[in-house]
């Protein structure tokens, strides 16, 4: 028996076999549906790799902007196919330090495709290497040393590894320590004004100089031998009190319209009785003492010193800005395989509430035809859990926690619910909720979002 079509005849038995195989296997992206793969929800917003060219016969230390350090020994790589290396090696590295980094990358956080246990991350790094396109691996007995930036607390965490996202295996321990190099470079500045006598007469001008360790604060070098005068009209009890204080930071700027009168801003950090840190600030108007026989030359010299100070200070501020991006802590470990390494622990889901969810966009977009996924971003836990349409009747949320939601729609559009808005919508007594979402460009939203 056959079924007639205008252009072809298909045996009924073949249709039955196709139906059985299609229903039982349900092929998705070349793998059985349910198997884990690294699949960025919006490919154009994926986390890019940083690439480094290295030579196999030389050791190399690579430092990333986060503070992460990678130490690579010489002759550590070999080709997976066993053939000799051909030339320069391209090392590809990328890091993931927030739940949104994980979302953008599409790296699964489930231990395996059973999706019963999910990991929460305190920092993750991926390394790949190739030689003219040929995949490389670490030689047996060799190891790469990594000190991974730690922006999140990692107490109770372990080290996990996955070659391709299909499963995670616990592979050992790591050591947490302070990012000493970074922290030492931003040591607090101590400035002790020179006090000419034990008492200060409010009726006289006050003379002082700035004293500091110039190796720590080179931008004050132009003023190392300079004295400053506070006019008696600008003297106050606060200025007198400040004379004997130790300050963390000082900035100097000329007052507009007066080349010799300057504004010195002193700052220092202090803690209140509750342990909260505040910043104390004192603004002092002062003039450099540049009088004498060569008054004109002294003023010219001071102007040059001010220019030097401004240029040096600009470089210092640029360096401070760079250092501020580095993590306070480093988690150190050694790896013998290329792939993804993750500081992780199993996420507790005891306090999840399960919601039967539907969404406002379903009026125009069919969830099943478009194979939509809900990504719940557990920001406090640094994790992401995807929910397929068959799981929307039991989506897990946390109350009073930073949890947001993203659904990838056709044409790279996404529906989002912010953490605050999600908590508001979860306050209803029912556990069957029609969620209101905001529609935005997936590329713009995911690339611009900051945690």
In this structure, how many other beta carbons lie within 10 angstroms of the beta carbon of residue 387? 20
- What was the pLDDT predicted at 291? 59
Q: Assess whether 18 and 52 both reside in one domain.
A: no
**Of 62, 63, 60, 58, nearest to 85 (Cα)?**
58
User: Of 209 and 66, which is predicted with more confidence?
Assistant: 66
Q: Assess whether 69 and 135 both reside in one domain.
A: yes
Q: Assess whether 282 and 362 both reside in one domain.
A: no
SS3 content of the chain, % helix, strand, coil (to 5): 25, 35, 40
Q: Using the predicted structure, report yes or no on whether residue 58 has a pLDDT greater than 60.
A: yes
196 domain-assigned: no
3-state secondary structure of 315: helix
User: Of 35 and 16, which is predicted with more confidence?
Assistant: 35
Return the minimum-mean-pLDDT range out of 1-5, 102-106, 243-247: 1-5
Confirm if 283 and 230 have CB atoms less than 8 A apart.
Answer: no
The pLDDT confidence band at residue 301, using thresholds 50, 70 and 90, is: low
Q: pLDDT tens digits, residue range 402-415?
A: 999 999 999 889 99
Residue ranges with strand state E in 347-451 = 353-359, 373-378, 383-388, 395-397, 403-408, 413-417, 432-435, 438-441
The pLDDT confidence band at residue 197, using thresholds 50, 70 and 90, is: very low
320 domain-assigned: yes
Q: Using the predicted structure, report yes or no on whether residue 81 has a pLDDT greater than 80.
A: yes
135 domain-assigned: yes
Q: Assess whether 170 and 301 both reside in one domain.
A: no
Q: Assess whether 342 and 395 both reside in one domain.
A: no
The pLDDT confidence band at residue 277, using thresholds 50, 70 and 90, is: confident
Q: What is the mean pLDDT of the chain?
A: 82
Q: Assess whether 73 and 168 both reside in one domain.
A: yes
Which whole number is the average pLDDT over 181-210? 54
Q: Assess whether 227 and 302 both reside in one domain.
A: yes
The pLDDT confidence band at residue 10, using thresholds 50, 70 and 90, is: very low
Q: Using the predicted structure, report yes or no on whether residue 7 has a pLDDT greater than 70.
A: no
CA 205 to chain centre: 50
Q: pLDDT tens digits, residue range 149-184?
A: 998 888 899 999 999 999 999 998 899 988 777 666
192 domain-assigned: no
- What was the pLDDT predicted at 163? 95
Return the minimum-mean-pLDDT range out of 112-121, 136-145, 229-238, 297-306: 297-306
The pLDDT confidence band at residue 198, using thresholds 50, 70 and 90, is: very low
Q: pLDDT tens digits, residue range 217-262?
A: 777 777 777 788 888 888 777 777 776 677 778 888 888 766 678 8
Q: Assess whether 254 and 164 both reside in one domain.
A: no
Q: Assess whether 389 and 309 both reside in one domain.
A: no
CA angle 380, 383, 386 (to 5 degrees): 130
In Å, how far are 6, 440, 444, 445 from 448, measured between CA atoms? 52, 12, 6, 5
193 domain-assigned: no
Global pTM? 0.68
Expressed as residue numbers, the domain containing 11 is 1-26
Q: Assess whether 39 and 161 both reside in one domain.
A: yes
Residue 113 sits in a domain of what CATH number? 2.60.220.30
- What was the pLDDT predicted at 286? 86
In Å, how far are 267, 360, 372, 436 from 367, measured between CA atoms? 57, 11, 5, 15
In Å, how far are 302, 314, 321, 392, 421 from 307, measured between CA atoms? 9, 11, 21, 63, 50
Q: Using the predicted structure, report yes or no on whether residue 292 has a pLDDT greater than 70.
A: no
Q: Assess whether 389 and 418 both reside in one domain.
A: yes
In Å, how far are 8, 12, 208, 248, 288 from 4, measured between CA atoms? 7, 10, 103, 87, 101
- What was the pLDDT predicted at 8? 41
Q: pLDDT tens digits, residue range 361-405?
A: 999 999 999 999 999 999 999 999 999 999 999 999 999 999 999
189 domain-assigned: no
Confirm if 373 and 388 have CB atoms less than 8 A apart.
Answer: yes
**Of 323, 383, 381, 332, nearest to 150 (Cα)?**
332
- Domain count for the chain: 4
- What was the pLDDT predicted at 178? 82
Q: Assess whether 245 and 282 both reside in one domain.
A: yes
397 domain-assigned: yes
223 domain-assigned: yes
CA angle 94, 187, 271 (to 5 degrees): 105
């Amino acid at each position: 028996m056959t079924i007639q079509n205008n252009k072809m005849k298909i045996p009924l038995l073949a249709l039955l076999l196709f139906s059985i195989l299609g229903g039982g296997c349900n092929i998705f992206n070349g793998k059985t549906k349910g198997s884990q793969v690294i699949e960025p929800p919006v490919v154009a917003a994926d986390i890019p790799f940083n690439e480094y060219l290295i030579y196999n016969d030389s050791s190399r230390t690579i430092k990333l902007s986060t503070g992460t350090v990678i130490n690579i020994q010489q002759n550590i790589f070999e080709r997976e196919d066993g053939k000799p290396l051909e030339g320069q090696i391209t090392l590809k590295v990328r890091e993931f330090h927030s739940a949104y980094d994980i979302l953008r990358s599409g790296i699964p956080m489930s231990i395996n495709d059973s999706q019963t246990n999910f990991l929460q991350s305190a920092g993750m790094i991926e390394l790949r290497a190739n030689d003219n396109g040929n995949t490389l691996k670490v030689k047996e007995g060799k190891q790469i040393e990594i000190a991974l930036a730690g922006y999140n607390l990692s107490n109770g965490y372990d080290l996990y590894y996955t070659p391709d996202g299909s499963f995670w295996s616990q592979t050992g321990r790591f050591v947490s320590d302070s990012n000493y190099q970074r922290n030492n470079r931003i040591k607090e500045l101590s400035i002790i004004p020179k006090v000419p006598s034990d008492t200060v007469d409010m009726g006289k001008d006050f003379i002082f100089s700035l004293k500091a360790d110039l190796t720590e604060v080179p931008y004050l070098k132009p003023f190392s031998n300079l004295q400053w005068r506070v006019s008696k009209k600008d003297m106050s009890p606060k200025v007198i009190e400040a004379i004997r204080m130790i300050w963390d930071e000082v900035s100097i700027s000329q007052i507009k319209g007066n080349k010799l009168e300057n504004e010195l801003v002193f700052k220092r950090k202090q803690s209140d009785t509750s342990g909260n840190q505040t910043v104390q600030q004192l603004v002092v108007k002062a003039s450099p003492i540049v009088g004498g026989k060569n008054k004109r030359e002294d003023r010219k010299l001071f102007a040059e010193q001010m220019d030097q100070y401004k240029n040096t200070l600009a470089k210092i501020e640029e360096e401070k800005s760079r250092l501020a991006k580095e993590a306070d802590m480093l988690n150190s470990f050694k790896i013998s395989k290329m792939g993804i390494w993750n500081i992780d622990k199993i996420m507790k889901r005891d306090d999840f509430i399960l919601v039967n969810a539907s969404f406002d966009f379903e009026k125009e977009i069919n969830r099943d035809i478009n194979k939509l996924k809900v990504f719940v971003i557990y920001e406090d836990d640094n994790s992401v859990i995807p929910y397929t349409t068959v799981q929307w009747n039991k989506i897990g949320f946390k109350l009073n926690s930073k949890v947001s939601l993203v659904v990838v729609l056709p044409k790279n559009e996404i529906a989002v619910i912010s953490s605050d808005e999600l908590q508001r919508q979860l306050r209803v007594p029912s556990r069957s909720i029609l969620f209101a979402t905001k529609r935005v460009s997936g590329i713009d939203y995911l690339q611009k979002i900051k945690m």
